[in-house]
Amino acid sequence: PLVREPLIERLDKLRARRWHAEPTFLFEDQEGEVAPITKPHDLTIEVGTRRDTLPEEVEQAIRIADAVQPGWNALGGEKRALLLEEAADLFEEHTDEFLSLCQREAGKTLPDAVLELREAVDFLRFYAGEARRLFSGSFALPGPTGEENRLTMAGRGVFATISPWNFPLAIFIGPAAAALAAGNSVVAKPAEQTPLIAALAVKLCHRAGIPREVFQLLPGAGEVGQFITSDPRIAGVSFTGSTETAHAINRSLAARDGPIATFIAETGGQNAMIVDSSALPEQVTRDVVASAFQSAGQRCSALRMLYIQDEVFDEMVAMIRGAFEALVIGDPGDLATDVGPVIDPDAKAALERHVARRRKNGRTVWRRKLPRGVANGCFVAPTIIELESISDLRRENFGPVLHVARFKAKELEKVVDDINATGYGLTLGLHSRIETTRQFVEARARVGNFYVNRNQIGAVVESQPFGGEGLSGTGPKAGGPNYVARFATERVVCIDTTAAGGNATLLA
Ligand code: UN1
């Protein structure tokens, strides 16, 4: 049509649609238990259903993926790039469906859903470019005269991708696209909470021309992941999620006989921001509120622990609380909403326990009141808790809960050391206009992504490759120049060209 309806009307039309996710390729006629997928914002509403992958289907999927991988690898980087780019185009054409599903299945606000789709498309296009760059032939290596050395890269085999519910599209498709770009076949297990978005993504990849045998969807809960990672034919695993699950996968991979698997993990964080007395209060307020409460705090990059220099602590906290009081909490389908629900009742219960414990310990707690009409959903009131130090936090609190602490100028070194001592190393923010402070923190902090005088979420593909160290993951950084290579094997060919020349002379 020449005149397209406005986006909101189009999204409204999709409201009644019901979706279904099931294992792809060969499994459609299997009988299996169907579980409902409910909306985080209102658990009485069913968005669709999912059928989990059975153990024998996992086995069959890996067998098929293994059989077709050499053909996919032989296709070469250029052809794989074209298919990934076609998928990116189809993702953009299906904007309405993706935005609607991000809101309904994952409880995302519209701005968050738009960012998510943008990131997914960026990943597809960037990794397509990497397929061309790295898999279009061999790289010549230096050597003495009379010797030819070259390096070629290829897929490792079957890669498993296990992805989280908090970026059900971008972090579902990103690692899968990287693995495919490198010439692997992929069995993908999306988070149990968000298989519908993943199912649409896989369907569009198949429509783009990526063979169904090469990219298979295996929905299910943790057991499905366990079946996958215990199979010795899995050449590598890319996992994004909790540190505990990463440890479990690592153990499962280590227990297998046969080839050693590659393991790429992007896990949790205990992310801090340091604000000194030279910082601009308005800028700090805006960036703290975005970093801590956007996406209801459900980003691994999100700010959990804010350190403010003593002299400006009261003023800054007053301003941050002012902005915090203005946050609109509610239905993510509502354009005005800033903070939607958390993902499920378990997530809500864990956050409520955390807040209750701090209250009991006599901490100062500021909490928003939840609006009326949200009782059926998994809403957690945005909360600010005053603590002494980041060492008072044990586990990651994945939701709209921010902690604040004060520090004296002479304690800056100790603050950075305490942050390092958590063992996590994902994002760190600094608000300061003093150049030597920036240099000091940059040099001392052990962290994957360091953000200065801005918010610390929303890393952009290619400009801000993303990922942590220590308890936060293995690297390499997603969306960066070293990522796709980690999904590949390298082969070096070395030819002595003098011997052949000599023989030829003798024979003549
Ligand atoms: C995550 O929450 O798992 O920087 C990653 C960001 C996003 C990535 C978050 N690009 O917030």
Rounded mean pLDDT, 304-314: 98
- Identity of residue 433: R
Rounded mean pLDDT, 337-361: 97
Catalytic residue among 130, 266, 378, 396: 266
Contact 248, 237 (CB under 8 A): no
Cα R_g (the chain), whole angstroms: 25
CA distance 419 to 23: 42
pLDDT at position 4: 67
Rounded mean pLDDT, 441-450: 98
The tokens 């909101």 sit on which residue? 8
- The Å distance, Cα 272 to ligand 1 centre, comes to 15
* Mutational test site, ligand 1, from 301, 428, 460, max ligand atoms within 8 Å of CB: 301
Give the number of other CB atoms < 10 A from CB of residue 211. 16
- The Å distance, Cα 299 to ligand 1 centre, comes to 6
- The Å distance, Cα 170 to ligand 1 centre, comes to 9
Shortest-distance Cα residue to atom 6 of ligand 1 = 458
Contact 109, 157 (CB under 8 A): no
Closest Cα to residue 173, out of 127, 142, 228?
127
Catalytic residue among 102, 205, 300, 378: 300
Query: In angstroms, how far is CA 396 from the centroid of its own chain?
Result: 16
Find out whether the beta carbon of 303 lies less than 6 Å from any atom of ligand 1.
no
What's the CA angle centered on 299, arms 295 and 301, to 5 degrees? Answer: 125
pLDDT at position 5: 78
Please state the atom number of ligand 1 nearest to the C-alpha of residue 119.
10
- The Å distance, Cα 366 to ligand 1 centre, comes to 26
Find out whether the beta carbon of 237 lies less than 6 Å from any atom of ligand 1.
no
pTM of the model: 0.96
Active site residue 386: no
What is the phi/psi pair of residue 284, to 5°? -60, -50
92 pLDDT higher than 80: yes
Six-digit token pair at 315? Answer: 């003023």
| Mean residue pLDDT across the chain | 95
Find out whether the beta carbon of 347 lies less than 6 Å from any atom of ligand 1.
no
302 pLDDT higher than 80: yes
List residues bridging with 125 in a β-sheet.
none
- The Å distance, Cα 306 to ligand 1 centre, comes to 19
CA distance 33 to 51: 6
Name the pLDDT band for 6 (thresholds 50, 70, 90).
confident
List residues bridging with 185 in a β-sheet.
158
CA distance 126 to 286: 30
* Mutational test site, ligand 1, from 116, 163, 167, max ligand atoms within 8 Å of CB: 167
List residues bridging with 238 in a β-sheet.
161, 264
CA distance 54 to 38: 22
Find out whether the beta carbon of 299 lies less than 6 Å from any atom of ligand 1.
yes
337 pLDDT higher than 80: yes
Closest Cα to residue 307, out of 341, 354, 273, 331?
273
Contact 309, 406 (CB under 8 A): yes
Q: HEC profile for 81-98? A: HHHHHHHHHHHHHCHHHH
Find out whether the beta carbon of 163 lies less than 6 Å from any atom of ligand 1.
no
pLDDT at position 503: 53
pLDDT in tens, 453-500: 999 999 999 999 999 999 999 999 999 999 999 999 999 999 999 865
Contact 320, 366 (CB under 8 A): no
CA distance 425 to 468: 5
What is the phi/psi pair of residue 19, to 5°? -120, 165
Rounded mean pLDDT, 343-359: 97
Name the pLDDT band for 343 (thresholds 50, 70, 90).
very high
Active site residue 266: yes
Please state the atom number of ligand 1 nearest to the C-alpha of residue 457.
11
**Of all residues in the chain, what percent carry a pLDDT higher than 90?**
91
List residues bridging with 123 in a β-sheet.
none
Find out whether the beta carbon of 300 lies less than 6 Å from any atom of ligand 1.
yes
pLDDT in tens, 121-163: 999 999 999 999 999 999 999 999 999 999 999 999 999 999 9
Closest Cα to residue 89, out of 126, 57, 136, 125?
125
Shortest-distance Cα residue to atom 5 of ligand 1 = 300
- The Å distance, Cα 16 to ligand 1 centre, comes to 30
pLDDT at position 29: 62
Find out whether the beta carbon of 457 lies less than 6 Å from any atom of ligand 1.
yes
pLDDT at position 7: 87
CA distance 92 to 85: 11
- The Å distance, Cα 408 to ligand 1 centre, comes to 31
Find out whether the beta carbon of 466 lies less than 6 Å from any atom of ligand 1.
yes
* Mutational test site, ligand 1, from 169, 457, 472, max ligand atoms within 8 Å of CB: 457
- The Å distance, Cα 458 to ligand 1 centre, comes to 6
Q: What is the DSSP string of 125-176?
A: HHHHHHHHHHSSS-EEE---TTEEEEEEEEE-SEEEEE--SSSTTHHHHHHH
CA distances to 87, 143, 287, 288 from 283, in Å? 38, 54, 6, 8
Rounded mean pLDDT, 15-19: 90
Please state the atom number of ligand 1 nearest to the C-alpha of residue 164.
3
